[in-house]
Amino acid sequence: MLDWSPWFRLTLSVLATWRVSHLIAYEDGPFDVIVRLRRRAGDGVLGKLMDCPYCLSLWIAAPLALLLAREPGAWGVAWLAISGGSSLLEIFSRPHRQPPVDMNPTMFPLEGAYDDVLLRTETSDDDELHP
């Protein structure tokens, strides 16, 4: 595995991170193992962590970043890159690119929706006072 190109290792790391974080957050797992773990975790910190694929990707990507870098600075960049790639896959794997229920929908605007101040067409209270 050490003779694989860095790009191939990055791709494998991102895909593996997404797969594991998606499995833990949304699926029952083989023989319902994940469901049982989630039930045991309850509503505590661990239970909330298991519900968030974005949070999970940070923890899962950390050891995988060692496939790409050994120095602390390079490892940190690889860690964030793997987690970021996994988060992008999570966003784009959702039907119609819908944002997660628990996240602010303005973070992931739908196609055709604009949050840019210059592109807004809504009127504010000030506009009504000063025509």
pLDDT tens, residue by residue, 72-81: 999 999 999 9
What is the Cα–Cα distance from 74 to 61, expressed in whole angstroms?
A: 14
**In the prediction, which pLDDT does 43 show?**
86
Q: How far apart are the first and last CA of the chain?
A: 67
**Sequence-separated (6 or more) residues with CB below 8 Å from residue 15:** 89
Handedness of CA 105, 78, 8, 22 (dihedral sign): negative
Q: Which of 13-22, 31-40, 73-82 has the lowest mean pLDDT?
A: 31-40
Q: Are 82 and 17 in contact (CB under 8 A)?
A: yes
Predicted TM-score (pTM) of the model is: 0.69
